[in-house]
Amino acid sequence: MADLSEITASIISHTDLILTVFFILAVTFIVAQIAGMWVSKMARSVGDKSRSGSTKLVMLRHVTVGAIYAVGLLIAVYTIPSLRTFSATLLAGAGLAAMVLGLAAQSTFSNMVSGLALVFFRPFDIGDKITVGSDYGEVIDINLRQTTLETFDNKRIIIPNSSLNSLTITNWTANADKTVIGTITIGVSYNSDIDKAREIMIEEARKSSYVMKSEEVRELHGDDELPDVKARVIELAPYSVDIRLDFWVYTRSDLFSAQTEIREAIKKRIDDEPSVSIPFPHTTVLFGNPMEMKENES
Q: Mark the ranges of the chain whose per-residue pLDDT is less than 50.
A: 1-2
Q: Is the Cβ–Cβ distance between 116 and 144 less than 8 Å?
A: yes
Q: Which residues pair with 130 in a beta bridge?
A: 137, 171
Q: Looking at residue 257, what is its pLDDT?
A: 92
Q: Looking at residue 1, what is its pLDDT?
A: 47
Q: Looking at residue 122, what is its pLDDT?
A: 76
pTM strictly above 0.75: no
Q: Is the Cβ–Cβ distance between 141 and 57 less than 8 Å?
A: no
pLDDT tens by residue, 195-230: 999 999 999 999 999 999 988 888 887 777 788 899
Question: Residue 243: enclosing H or E segment and its boundaries?
Answer: strand 241-249
Question: Residue 219: enclosing H or E segment and its boundaries?
Answer: helix 214-221
Annotate 81-137 with three-state secondary structure.
HHHHHHHHHHHHCHHHHHHHHHHHCHHHHHHHHHHHHHHHHCCCCCCCEEEECCEEE
